[in-house]
Structure 1
């Protein structure tokens, strides 16, 4: 099964959720692990509700990330993670830093701040993988603060236009076994995917395309054309993220049975 673990629904570039699913069909992607654009840019709670509605309409196609831009909502943010997990059935958390502009690494907000730690800790408690649009250093800081958290480093280290950033991302991830690297639009450099596997192992690389912001055929072809074994590609294209989602689902099942 092929799972795209970095997808945006909610109307980016005029693409409806149904448009995104049709695009996934064209590529050959079976499931998408998605965030809602409204949650990222306007109102997290409302955007998460919209994603939950999409998940209900397409239960076999969409896995949901609860989205929270930063931790400054306080206790309500932690409660939102819990609600998204228990009520909506979301199995991951998306967090994102804010920069001064496209291609800029001048941060206006960072995900590595004390206000964010309770949110990350709640996700870790629920075994929700955390897709962090953040620099390698921010991801390392989150792991230091919440060692049990599983961090998927979006774009392999930050903004997709940060050319060469994957060198630093791989080096940081080598020192943190709970950091995974995602392939979403990170680079088009020759050999970078092979370098990721050489650095942290295929079991810690996650396939993502960032569609519809980025052409998913580009992201899919990077993996299919890489000089990796079929077994390594299978892990990257779905095996790894399904393993992580399975851990979160197991927690939900135990809670439902009153065992957790």
Structure 2
């Protein structure tokens, strides 16, 4: 008899600098306590990474410091109730030298009216090569054209997770029309997605590359979890979506090196 996998929230934000939302780890843990969520993938809030309200944002030493502090904060949690899977939020300095063996993925994020990633910068390709080497999944939230380019051209061989079932990447149907959902390296999460889209995805593409996510603090972990459970999926399918798929994806991450130069880490991932 197979053991039921733990419930893992594959999409949540947690910050230390941005106070615009209640989004501390304590805030998340308090909401998750009303559920059977046992682990969570955490990303920094956008406003700790770049100024999303300045379309012509130019990076500074102070913003680089903020990013370091924010990303490092996610590595500091030690909880008996929740297993934390920290994701590194990458920006245009492409600072993969800050990756450690504890990192479990990459957050790559911008909206259409926000500062753009410097895809033409040679450091971008080098960063993607390091991400590929570490087998880190990338949660990609981008406008539609850049999503297609990223998956088809830039990130070949990298597992890409499209959040919200594509809601902010051009839409579920646009992603389907581009033939992305059917690709083996393209996954999705359910954060803030409607029941119709979740059901449609499973019917069309199966359940093995779909993961539950809450998008805390914008989504409520309890409510987002109930949205999946109300679909009354077959037990094996529900177990996979709520945690089994995330655990299987994380099993492929290479936690054996601690630096972008390939030198071995000392203590491993701690996961």
**TM beyond 0.5:** yes
Structure number, greater radius of gyration: 2
> Which structure has greater helix proportion?
1
In the other structure, the counterpart of 1:34 is: 42
In the other structure, the counterpart of 2:53 is: none
Q: Contact between 1:170 and 1:200, CA under 8 Å: does it hold in 2?
A: no
SS of the aligned residue for 1:52 comes to: coil
Per-residue deviation at 1:220?
0.9
Per-residue deviation at 1:26?
0.9
Query: CA deviation digits over 1:43-99, x for unaligned, max 9?
Result: 321111111112x4569521100111x3x315xx1312xxx333xx11111010243
Does structure 1 residue 44 correspond to structure 2 residue 53?
no
212 and 47 in structure 1: CA distance in 2 versus 1, 3 angstrom threshold: same
24 and 249 in structure 1: CA distance in 2 versus 1, 3 angstrom threshold: farther
Does structure 1 residue 64 correspond to structure 2 residue 86?
yes
Does structure 1 residue 95 correspond to structure 2 residue 108?
yes
Per-residue deviation at 1:193?
0.6
CA RMSD across the alignment: 2.8
Q: How does 1:39-188 map to 2 (within 5 A)?
A: 39-41=48-50, 42=63, 43-54=66-77, 56=78, 61-68=83-90, 70=91, 72-74=92-94, 77-80=95-98, 84-86=99-101, 89-100=102-113, 108-110=115-117, 113-115=119-121, 116-143=124-151, 144-159=153-168, 165-171=171-177, 172-186=179-193, 188=194
Q: Contact between 2:104 and 2:250, CA under 8 Å: does it hold in 1?
A: yes
Query: CA deviation digits over 1:201-238, x for unaligned, max 9?
Result: 10011110101221222311221011521111111111
In the other structure, the counterpart of 1:18 is: 26
Q: What is the distance in 2 between the residues matched to 1:184 and 1:137?
A: 21
TM-score (norm 1): 0.79
Q: Contact between 2:137 and 2:159, CA under 8 Å: does it hold in 1?
A: yes
Per-residue deviation at 1:256?
5.1
Q: Number of residue pairs matched?
A: 236
121 and 249 in structure 1: CA distance in 2 versus 1, 3 angstrom threshold: closer
Unaligned runs of 5+ in 1: 101-106
Per-residue deviation at 1:185?
1.0
In the other structure, the counterpart of 1:209 is: 214
Greater RCO, 1 or 2 (C-alpha within 8 Å, sep 6+): 2
In the other structure, the counterpart of 1:248 is: 253
Q: Contact between 1:170 and 1:196, CA under 8 Å: does it hold in 2?
A: no
Q: What is the distance in 1 between the residues matched to 2:81 and 2:256?
A: 19
